[in-house]
Every structure is written in structure tokens, then in C-alpha cells.
A and B are shown apart, each in its own frame.
Chain A
């Protein structure tokens, strides 16, 4: 069991060397934001849709509502706890005059309406996607998710997870301003 000297030295240094490689990988992993899930649909046209209403006496939400406009669409559900976390941010944005549309995903319209009545309603138009069909077409993997669609109806941005003030300030607001200016 007595090993030759070079083997001993190699065995001594190997753990450290392997660790350094791993640590570098982890550091990159940390930089790699798990929320920035690139959608294959970014840059592609948004699907055509017509969703039923969530709120009483409302006409729902359809492609016609956003045609020719820059639109922010937020996917939520009354069952989703992270949406509850995101909700104050949406209320703030709505109060600042930002137009946000909502997709009530995999949710009973009555539950969605009760949720909006209870916590406040930040949405200009909101439609119910109980079957999850539109969300599927949009490539939604969970709630909340937010999309920005340009005037030509193409998906330009997708955010997985709650909107944070930083993300809004650094990424979303500039993009919207740029799209509004009509590139």
C-alpha cells in the first residue's frame, strides 16, 4: 500500500484542483439568473387569443385589446402564493399609470374575481384561462410570469417569477419606453 511519491503528491493536490473548477462553475451558476428563463417564443408573434371574463360585467381579454399597442401581460392565479407576493408591485405600477393586463391561469373565474376584489385589481383587461390553453401557447411554466409584447404583436420579453422593483427599473421599463418610441 506504499504509493510512489508522485502519486501521493497528485492525490494531495487533486481534491483542491477539482474543487477550484467546481467553485468557478458555481460562481457562474449564481450569475446565471434562474428567473431569466429564455423563452423560445421571445421574438415570435404572440398567439391569437380571446379569453372569457374574470370580473362580473366584463368582456374578458382578447388579441383585439392589445393590437397596435405595447402590452404588459401578467399571468397569475388565485392559488399562487408568489402572485400574492408580487401583487403590491403590480398595484404600485397600476397607480403610476402603467397599463397591465392579466391572465387568470388555471383558475375558477369566481376565485380570480374574489382574489381581485380582496387584494385590489391592477389590471386594465383581464381574462380567464382556466383550461391553460393560452398559457401553454405562451410557454408559461408557472405563475407569476410577465410578458411584454410590442406593437406588431411579437413577444419581446418574458419574466419568470415576481416582478421586482430592480427588474422593472433596469429591464422592463426601459424596454417598454423603447418599444413605445416605436424603434
Chain B
């Protein structure tokens, strides 16, 4: 019964969404206030019904109703309650439902929070948002209903992928989706602006907070995913350039470019057309990511049961959304103003360079992800593109980006003489150079490349802090005056500093890892020790045990340094009988300077265990970065300018909104 109610809710949502599309787009065209209000209410109602359907699905998982197919296939009574709930979105049908739930959430949020938006524009945005919803609701109802019944009803469910039984991973898809799907707002705002032929900055103004929210969520989502890979996959890697990872990285890269170019539109009224294009492309990358993951077009056949019909459906949605958006762009964009002129050496100039680099990097990742597919099409060879490809392409393009991101914020808008730039950047240059010399000398020049990267990291962190120094005119005016200036700085500036400094920490974490990483492997019997990075690792013992839904062997490893109190690590191997599969849970000791990572391997015939151990210097920084950058985005969100109606129009944009035939 509950399943049928859930299905009914989805069908209702589909009908309401159709209403939202018609009322929004047609109402805006007719300037009909009543229709505009209908679009608004429909966006909220759509969210309520999808949320209800989702809640019902969660409930079906909670009570283990195996008469419902997805529950039977993905849950089991013996599973802990927490994972019963998280298995709601640990499968195709449930995760797609989560996808539209989040899409509807953004629609409803725009409906409720976007009070200051011009009504016709808002209705168009909701109409476009509704169109996307419509496609995905149809996808769910017609190809992937989470409420399909199963007969005969099995006594026990078929479990759940044990690799996914992890708290970090349980939170990972929702956050990732918040990011992915959040970029739908960028798309809807951009397309609505194209429909209206808006040549002002209004759309960017209103879209910006949503884009930032999406960006924050995606940043955290990617970070969590990589953290999970680090301690679950058992060898200490944290990024694999796997198609699924790339699928989340591409919208992040374009979204980052979009956040920057939107800034240029808003403050300087330049890059107008380009920003609209980025808005469309960013969400297209999200759709592409969904397509890649859901069609199985690039994933290993051994991992998922692939259903080409689903892939085809999403591809059609992708073609309609992106193709429609780009076609509209082709028709409408030439009529939009080119924007204001700026000199190459200026804040805008640096942001253009930022955009060019970010888009090129995205292109590289895109190529790496889809090249195997292309080769397969042309030659029937199956190849895969791995880390070496990205090391060769991604890194050389990231380097100039890292240089620009420090210089850019130091430049003035419109035109900068470049005079005194060296002085403005002197501290960053100095610290970077000092780090280079110290590290190179400390390693006797053996790790020149890594030393260069560490210097780059120092350059970014110090350079980002210099933004604060410059904006508060520290040293040029009295300290009291600087404090006053500091207090007057808009939150966006702090957001900028945090996000940029975060990138610096990331580079430090990467370079530190490459520079000082050490690893070893030993066969240890109980009580045996092995020396490692100035410590003594002792395998105290290994004991087997059993939890609700898995069996495990747990090693107890003592880490002794000098005469101090020893630390303990408990690396585990788990065996899940329902799925006949094993997972590794590494023991990781985290310190700011580095991680000690221990994984338990097989037991040899003589009773000794294979123990692999790694030292990952500065590793934790890699993931802290996600937090720092997301925090930067969060702070920027509090900027008043995000939430006010635009108070003035740039001189060139005096054309009234909607003066183009709509």
C-alpha cells in the first residue's frame, strides 16, 4: 500500500510540474500575475510530493518491506538501521529519486526565497527548472520506479554492497547531488536570461548565491568521496581519475570558472555572453556525470548490471537540455551586449585567464574520460586512460592557474599599470622562494619538483593572505585604521581568501605526499616488530570477531616512538557473507604533519600476517582543503550583495528587461 502511495505521489508531482512549466513560461510571456503565482506554488507543491515519496521509500527500507523490488535487492533485515536508511539512495532507483528531490528542493527554495526577483524572470526560471524536473520524473516513473513490486516476496533481502557501508559514503551521494543538481539553477537562470534577452546583470545577481551553494556542496561531496577512497580501498590512494570521480570533477571545475566569471559580469559587466554559456555548460557536465554513472557507459561491466534503456533516456534528456540551451544561445547570444572593455592587465584580464585555464583543464579531463570510448568506437580496442595522462596534461595547466590566482586579486579592475605589483606580491614571493631553497637544500636537491610545488603552495597561502593586507592597507595607514578597514571588508573578500588559501593547502598536501611518502610491507607474527619512519610497529595480535552483518579479523598494532606511550591502530578486514565479499578498513593515525596508514593483508600458512604500512606526510591537508574552501564559499554567501535587489544598473545595460521579444 505504501509503495502505491509513493508511486501516486510521484505521478502527482509529475502533473504539478507540468503545470509549473506551463504557468511559468507562458505566464511570463503573457505577463499574467495569476499564472506567475501558480508557478511559484507549483514549485513548492512539487517539492512536497517528491519529498513525501522519498520519505515513504525510506520507510519501506526501515521496515524492510521485501515486497518492494529495490528494498529486496538492496537491503536485508540484519543490516544496522543506519545503513537500512542509507541504502535508500545506495541504488539506482533510490538515488534517482534523491536526484529529483534535490532538484525540486532548489526549485522550491528559489520560489520561496527569491522574493526580490522580478516576477516574470522568476517564473521563467521556475519554468525551466520544472522542465528539467519533468524529464527526470518521467525517467523515474517510466524506467526506474523505486516502488515496483516483487512477487513472490522473498524472506530475506539480497543485502547491500558492503563497500558502501560506511558513514562517509552514506553522506557522500546526497552532498554530491546537492552540488550536481544545484548547478541546475545556473542553467535555469542562464536560459531564462536568454529567453528574456536580458542584457543586464540581474540574472547573475540572483543566480550567484545558488551557484555558490551548489559549489560548496560539490566541494564537500568530492572531498568526502576521496576521503572514503583513502581509507576504504586499502592502499592509501585518494584520487583515481576514475570516470565516476571525473564526472564529479568536471562540473566542479566549470562551476569554479562560473563563480569567477559571474563576478566579472556582476561587478564590471563584462564576459556577459561567456558567463551564460558557462552556466549552460556547467549543468550539462552534471547531466553528463549522471549519464555516465547511470548508463554504465564507462564503468566496468563487472561492477554494475547495465541497462542501456536507462542510459538512452538520460542521453535524450541531456540532448534536450544542453542542446536546447545551446541552440537558444546560438540564436540569442549575438544580440546580447559584448560588455565593457577592459585591459589585459586587470582583474578582469586575470579572471579571463582563470576561465580559459579552468575550461581547458575541464576539456582535458573530459578527453581523458571519453577518449577510451572514442577509441572503442573507432577501432574496437578497449583502452583506459590512467594517471600518467593526467599527470602530463592536468598538472602543466594547473601550474599557471596557481600563479594567476595569487596575482589576479592583487590587480585593479579595468586597468592596472602593473607598477608596484612586485612590491604587492613581495612577501609571497619571498616565502615561496625561502621554502624552495629550504626544501631543496634539506633534500639535497633530490626532490626538486616537489620542492617547487611546496614553494607554490607557500606562494598561494601567503599570497591569499596578502589580499587582506592590501585591502586593509596594513602598514600604510595606522593599525587602528587597518582594523576599521578590516571590519568593513565584505564577507566575499574573506570567502576569496579562504577558498584560495585552501587551494594552497591542497597543493602542500599533494607535494608533501609526493616528497616524503614512504611505504613498506612486512610479514609479521604476533609480537613481531618492524621499524618504520623512526617508529617501531608491533603486531600485538590479530583476533577474529563478528558484527551484525559481517565477520572480521582485526589486527592490533602498537606504534612506539622512543619511550613514550605507544599509539594503537586497528586495521581490519571484513567479510560480508550475504555478498560473499571482503573489504579492507585501514588503520590510520592522523596528525597534522602526516598520517600513518596500516593495512592488514593475508595470513600466510605459517600464521604470519602481511602488514602494509605507509607514511603520508601532510595527507590530512588534502581533505581539510575541502572544508576550508567550502567555508570560504559559505562566508561569501553571507555577502549582503547576494541577497539584495541590484541597486544600480551598469551604464551600458539601460535596455529594459524583456524588451526583446520573449
Bound-state CA distance A172–B5 (Å) is 41
Q: Contact check: which of A9, A12, A38 meets B380 at CB < 8 Å?
A: A38
**A48 an interface residue at 8 Å Cβ cutoff?**
no
Chain A 1-26 per-residue mask, 1 if CB under 8 angstroms from chain B, else 0: 11101001101110110011001011
* CB neighbours of B323 from chain A (8 A): 16, 19-20, 23
A34 near B326: Cβ-Cβ < 8 Å: no
* CB neighbours of B291 from chain A (8 A): 26
* CB neighbours of B298 from chain A (8 A): 34
Known contacts A15-B326, A79-B582; is A25 also within 8 Å of B374 by CB? yes
Bound-state CA distance A28–B311 (Å) is 12
* CB neighbours of B277 from chain A (8 A): 15
Bound-state CA distance A31–B272 (Å) is 38
B581 near A29: Cβ-Cβ < 8 Å: no
A160 near B301: Cβ-Cβ < 8 Å: yes
Tell me, rounded to whole Å, the shortest Cβ–Cβ distance linking A138 to chain B: 16
Please report the total number of B residues contacting A with Cβ < 8 Å. 49
Which B residues between 328 and 346 are near A, CB-CB below 8 angstroms? Answer: 329-331, 333-334, 338-342
B315 near A30: Cβ-Cβ < 8 Å: yes
**A170 an interface residue at 8 Å Cβ cutoff?**
no
Bound-state CA distance A85–B305 (Å) is 9
Tell me, rounded to whole Å, the shortest Cβ–Cβ distance linking B333 to chain A: 5
Known contacts A29-B373, A161-B301; is A9 also within 8 Å of B334 by CB? yes
* CB neighbours of B305 from chain A (8 A): 85, 162
Known contacts A8-B334, A15-B281, A23-B323; is A82 also within 8 Å of B377 by CB? no
Bound-state CA distance A115–B273 (Å) is 61
Chain B 359-383 per-residue mask, 1 if CB under 8 angstroms from chain A, else 0: 0000000000010011011001010
* CB neighbours of B161 from chain A (8 A): 81
Known contacts A27-B315, A29-B376, A38-B380; is A81 also within 8 Å of B580 by CB? yes
Closest residue to A31 on the B side, CB-wise? B308
Which B residues between 378 and 437 are near A, CB-CB below 8 angstroms? Answer: 380, 382
B326 near A16: Cβ-Cβ < 8 Å: yes
* CB neighbours of A79 from chain B (8 A): 580-582
A30 near B311: Cβ-Cβ < 8 Å: yes
**A35 an interface residue at 8 Å Cβ cutoff?**
yes
* CB neighbours of A183 from chain B (8 A): none
Tell me, rounded to whole Å, the shortest Cβ–Cβ distance linking A140 to chain B: 11
* CB neighbours of B334 from chain A (8 A): 5, 8-9, 12
Known contacts A1-B338, A8-B334, A81-B580; is A25 also within 8 Å of B318 by CB? no
Which A residues between 107 and 160 are near B, CB-CB below 8 angstroms? Answer: 115, 142-143, 160
Chain B 273-305 per-residue mask, 1 if CB under 8 angstroms from chain A, else 0: 100010011001000000100011110111101
**What are 14 inter-chain pairs, A to B, with CB distance below 8 A?**
A1-B270, A1-B339, A8-B338, A12-B329, A12-B334, A16-B327, A19-B284, A25-B370, A26-B297, A27-B315, A79-B580, A80-B580, A142-B301, A162-B305
**Other than the known A13-B330, A79-B580, A143-B302, what 8 A-B pairs have Cβ atoms closer than 8 Å?**
A16-B330, A26-B291, A26-B318, A27-B315, A29-B377, A30-B312, A34-B296, A82-B302
Interface residues of chain B, those whose CB is within 8 Å of chain A, are 161, 270, 273, 277, 280-281, 284, 291, 295-298, 300-303, 305-306, 308, 311-312, 315, 318-319, 322-323, 326-327, 329-331, 333-334, 338-342, 370, 373-374, 376-377, 380, 382, 579-582
Interface residues of chain A, those whose CB is within 8 Å of chain B, are 1-3, 5, 8-9, 11-13, 15-16, 19-20, 23, 25-35, 37-38, 78-82, 84-85, 115, 142-143, 160-162
